[in-house]
Chains A and B, each alone.
Chain A
Amino acid sequence: MTILERKLSLETRTMPATSPDFEVFFSQFWSPICAHCYRFLGDRDEAEDIALEVFWKLHKKELWQKESQGGIRSWLYRVATNDALNAIRSMKRRQQYEFEAGREHLESTYTPNPAREMERVEIRARIRLVLSRMKKKQASVLSLRLAGLSYREIAEIIKVSPNSIGTLLARAEKEFMALYLELEGR
């Protein structure tokens, strides 16, 4: 196939059905990637939806057939971070509403420890709001570090020099705390 056909053609690209190899990648990376998305969203269903989209992209691009294990890992974290950040950013406007809704929901359902659960919901909403307000790069560094990735890996994912991760991270953490405390009303 020529470049032109690739570029212009309306042709349907045939995709392989999910294969055993892909399934191996999936089971290996599903939990960490999903947990990574959860960190941003604080909601299980939303995190799973985003993680599914990430794996869909991996599958569609057929990257998993030609990239190294490390390359795939970096790719997955890059796309998951980006997608999760986009998701919380586009939800900004609705956030206050959801915040309230969450409270109402809690009041109307039974939980063994409502006070504790309420606090948890509020913390989650706050974390999400803070991450959505931070600069993308800062929010990325912070979350990737929390995911337990090394500086070298983080640098590769966000495409900066490994030497600058410490500085970025220190700044991101400072910013996070400042925004968080502001929201908490302190």
Chain B
Amino acid sequence: MHVQDGILRAYIDGELTSEEQDRLHNHLETCETCKERMENIQTTTSQIDKLLRSVEEDHGLGSPDFAYSKFESLVEEREANMWEKFSQRKYRPVYVGLGIALLFFISLSIPQVRTMANEFLSLFRIERITTVDIGLSLEEVPDEFERYFTTADRILGEDLNFEQLSGDLGEAIPVADSSEASAEVGFTVRLPTAIESEPELLVQPGATMSVTIDRDRWQSLLEELGYGDYSLPESVDGEQVSITATASVAALYGECEEDEEDQYVASTKSCTVILQGRSPIVEAPPDFDIQQLGAIGLQLLGLAPEDAEAFSASVDWTSTLVIPIPKGAKYQKITVDGVDGILLEDPYKDAKTRLTVLWLKNGIIYSMYGEMDIEQALEIVNSLE
């Protein structure tokens, strides 16, 4: 019986238990094959160690004190920056955020081909939702996005314009009942009859984010993200792109207090949230190669170039909200509220399962999340009226 490479490797590092370490030691005394294999592994290990050490000896990295002073000025600079703050509200729940971020990325990168300066901008509105399996895993998603945002922020931060359509920036307005909410948002707000308790209703005012494109800077962003092969045409310079989210409503059931934990840690308290709002609107110059830009966006999410292009060609970006599904995430397509929807299982579960259901009906995007099983979720969403 011979020993696996992995065990031999752990033996070299002294990472086995002392019993295992002794047992293997004895085995190696008598087994020439294993001994030889162990020596081969050891040779590779020390070659790599030596190689790495040979270039490390004089890197002369800065002292912590010096680095800390650099860090302090970096914090100061960033705390004053708006986009950085905007990006902090990211991805809660992660999937919806991802979809919006992707859409956002695409919308920002849109203006492709030549347009007359005075031409009307084309208008997109989401009519359906679809999913795409991406290469990034759940653990990688937040950090990857952080990287994109940080890079984009550094290069484009100053160009961005962020405007709320009414009210104070960021303030959700409590309303008394669904008719008041409906009046605020301009569509009929629907609430589930399957939950007996009264919800806390909040209206989130709409907002528009717009940017005027500085072509050279955008190109350097693509380059920095590793997509320098893709060249933005000169004609996009000075074009304006905007994304508008109109007012939406959240119905909160149960105890929905903020927990101070990391964003993924599910609250142990029972809280169910139902969100509804009109699809966001993207405005951009009319002629552009949206497929190619979609493909770039998907590659940023870890899809292989050929897969990204194939998917991008198969989807109508102007009317589809694409929800990227990270590796390892569980989801299924279901029928809810009489239409096709998507059910996502939150992987950061404690004892209970946290679900998100997402669907689109009559131009309104709905999402519900909370700790429950699938049956309960379906019962709630199917009882909206």
The chain A residue sitting closest to B61, CB to CB, is A34
Residues of B contacting A34 with CB < 8 Å?
A: 61-62, 67
The chain B residue sitting closest to A41, CB to CB, is B59
Q: How far is the CA of A42 from the CA of B224 in the complex (A)?
A: 18
A172 to chain B, nearest CB (A): 9
Residues of A contacting B19 with CB < 8 Å?
A: none
| Cβ contact within 8 Å between A170 and B9 | yes
Given A3-B252, A38-B56 in contact, is the A169-B6 Cβ separation under 8 Å? yes
A75 to chain B, nearest CB (A): 10
| Cβ contact within 8 Å between A120 and B41 | no
Residues of B contacting A48 with CB < 8 Å?
A: 61-62, 67, 70
* Cβ-neighbour of A150 out of B4, B15, B52, B258 (below 8 A): B15
A110 to chain B, nearest CB (A): 16
Instruction: Answer whether residue B234 sits at the interface, using C-beta atoms and an 8 A cutoff.
Output: no
| Cβ contact within 8 Å between A10 and B162 | yes
Residues of B contacting A18 with CB < 8 Å?
A: 71-72, 75
Q: Flag A11-26 by CB within 8 Å of B: 1 or 0 each.
A: 1110101100001001
Q: Which positions 65-79 of chain A face chain B at CB distance < 8 Å?
A: 66, 78-79
| Cβ contact within 8 Å between A12 and B170 | yes
Q: Which positions 59-75 of chain B face chain A at CB distance < 8 Å?
A: 59-62, 64-65, 67-68, 70-72, 74-75
Given A4-B250, A166-B10 in contact, is the A10-B92 Cβ separation under 8 Å? no
Instruction: Answer whether residue B13 sits at the interface, using C-beta atoms and an 8 A cutoff.
Output: yes
The chain B residue sitting closest to A30, CB to CB, is B64
| Cβ contact within 8 Å between A56 and B258 | no
| Cβ contact within 8 Å between B60 and A44 | yes
Instruction: Answer whether residue B202 sits at the interface, using C-beta atoms and an 8 A cutoff.
Output: yes
| Cβ contact within 8 Å between B44 and A180 | no
Q: How far is the CA of A53 from the CA of B252 in the complex (A)?
A: 36
| Cβ contact within 8 Å between B48 and A176 | yes
Residues of B contacting A27 with CB < 8 Å?
A: 64-65, 68
| Cβ contact within 8 Å between B204 and A8 | yes
Q: Flag B231-262 by CB within 8 Å of A: 1 or 0 each.
A: 00000000000000000101010001110111
Pick the most buried of B88, B228, B273: most chain A CB atoms within 10 A of its CB: B88
Q: How far is the CA of A55 from the CA of B52 in the complex (A)?
A: 25
| Cβ contact within 8 Å between A165 and B15 | yes
Given A2-B252, A2-B256, A93-B228 in contact, is the A52-B55 Cβ separation under 8 Å? no
Pick the most buried of A4, A5, A26, A57: most chain B CB atoms within 10 A of its CB: A4
Q: Flag B1-19 by CB within 8 Å of A: 1 or 0 each.
A: 0001111111001010000
Instruction: Answer whether residue B119 sits at the interface, using C-beta atoms and an 8 A cutoff.
Output: no
Q: Flag A60-100 by CB within 8 Å of B: 1 or 0 each.
A: 11010010000000000011001100100111111000000
Instruction: Answer whether residue B332 sits at the interface, using C-beta atoms and an 8 A cutoff.
Output: no
Instruction: Answer whether residue B335 sits at the interface, using C-beta atoms and an 8 A cutoff.
Output: no
| Cβ contact within 8 Å between B252 and A79 | no
Instruction: Answer whether residue A129 sits at the interface, using C-beta atoms and an 8 A cutoff.
Output: no
| Cβ contact within 8 Å between A82 and B68 | no
The chain B residue sitting closest to A65, CB to CB, is B260
Instruction: Answer whether residue A1 sits at the interface, using C-beta atoms and an 8 A cutoff.
Output: yes
Pick the most buried of A3, A93, A173, A174: most chain B CB atoms within 10 A of its CB: A3
Residues of B contacting A2 with CB < 8 Å?
A: 172, 200, 202, 252, 256-258
Instruction: Answer whether residue A186 sits at the interface, using C-beta atoms and an 8 A cutoff.
Output: no
Closest 9 pairs between A and B when the two form their complex, measured CB to CB: A167-B6, A11-B170, A90-B226, A166-B10, A166-B6, A10-B170, A170-B9, A27-B64, A30-B64
Which residues in A have some Cβ–Cβ distance to B below 8 Å? 1-13, 15, 17-18, 23, 26-27, 30-31, 34-35, 38-39, 42, 44, 47-48, 51-53, 55-57, 59-61, 63, 66, 78-79, 82-83, 86, 89-94, 120, 123-124, 127, 136, 142, 145-146, 150-151, 159, 164-171, 173-174, 176-177, 180
Apart from A31-B64, A120-B54, A180-B51, 16 more pairs, CB < 8 Å = A2-B252, A9-B171, A9-B204, A11-B171, A13-B85, A13-B88, A30-B68, A34-B61, A66-B260, A83-B147, A127-B51, A166-B6, A166-B7, A166-B15, A169-B9, A176-B48
Which residues in B have some Cβ–Cβ distance to A below 8 Å? 4-10, 13, 15, 41, 44-45, 47-49, 51-52, 54-56, 59-62, 64-65, 67-68, 70-72, 74-75, 78-79, 85-86, 88-89, 92-93, 139-140, 143-144, 146-147, 150, 162, 164, 169-172, 200, 202, 204, 207, 224-226, 228-229, 248, 250, 252, 256-258, 260-262, 267, 271, 273, 275
Q: Can you list 15 contacts pairing A with B, beta carbon distance less than 8 Å?
A: A2-B172, A3-B256, A9-B170, A10-B89, A44-B60, A79-B143, A86-B143, A127-B52, A136-B140, A145-B13, A150-B15, A151-B15, A166-B5, A166-B6, A167-B6
